[in-house]
Amino acid sequence: MNILTEEEMENIAQNLAKEIRQLVENKIQSKEDILIVGLGNEEVTPDALGPNVVKNIEVTRHIIQYLPQYIDENARPVSAIAPGVLGTTGIETVEIIKGVVDNVKPKLLIVIDALASRSIERISSTIQLSDTGIVPGAGVGNKRKEISQDTLGIPVIAIGIPTVVETAIVVNDALDLFIEKLQEEAKSNDALNRLKEEDNYETIKEALLPKDYNFIVTPKEIDHLIANMSKIVALGINASM
């Protein structure tokens, strides 16, 4: 996994800001409130993306409300929370968010979460945006209640970055790479070609599940990757407001 330079992170953040700005402008007016929500468990590094992003969000709602003389009159009210996870709060994440939404009354929600990927190559190398909401924990078989306009009554933009894969994905991708190596060395045959063309993920997963071997795997550089990705997403959100 490549560790990005400051210049590369700035460039990615600017591109992300353009995409976020376009999604936001399609949903709400220029000075309407936005709530940023960082999903995940700060104590588990691969799941700490959301909480780390929230730490770097430029919140303005309180300044606009109490110290308007110190901020641009065109500033958008932005607030942010990291609600934690069910295992540590005992409360469904969507219930916490709904309570905040009902009281703060933002016009739009931006939710950030770490994702499970179906490809090793996508770990920390892609940023996924959606305007249809998100289901926390779905990627690791720990599906929680949906966070969307249907459950909260306001538009939801979701930003996700893959940080983990299942063992079955690793084995499947490694199998493809192994077959490619054999093919390059002219050791391929019809059976190998057929195996390469198939998606063996489900078969491998079925073999691993009975013994609880389908672990969730993350790169050894995950501390640096989370730090970089958190900074990029926060810069992108701040620049888009």
- What is the rounded CA–CA span in Å between residue 57 and residue 45? 19
* 164's tokens: 């983990």
Under the banding of pLDDT at 50, 70 and 90, the label for residue 191 is low
DSSP track, 14-81: HHHHHHHHHHHHTTS-TT--EEEEE-S-TTSGGG-HHHHHHHT----HHHHHH-GGGS-TTPPPEEEE
- More confidently predicted of 87 and 180: 87
- pLDDT at 177 exceeding the cut of 90: no
Strands 156-166 and 78-81: unpaired
User: Which residue intervals of the chain bear CATH 3.40.50.1450?
Assistant: 6-165+218-240
Radius of gyration for the chain, computed over Cα atoms and rounded to the nearest angstrom: 21
* 151's tokens: 């459950």
- pLDDT at 164 exceeding the cut of 60: yes
Check residue 144 and give its pLDDT.
Answer: 65
- What is the rounded CA–CA span in Å between residue 230 and residue 36? 13
On whether the CB atoms of residues 232 and 16 are closer than 8 A, the answer is yes
Residue 37 β-bridge partners: 81, 111
Q: Which of 102, 50, 42, 110 is nearest to 79 (CA)?
A: 110
Check residue 44 and give its pLDDT.
Answer: 93
Round the average pLDDT of the chain to a whole number and report it. 87
Answer CATH for 6-165+218-240 from 1.20.58.1690, 3.40.50.720, 3.40.50.1450, 3.40.47.10:
3.40.50.1450
Check residue 174 and give its pLDDT.
Answer: 74
Query: Which helix (DSSP H) or strand (DSSP E) does residue 132 occupy?
Result: none
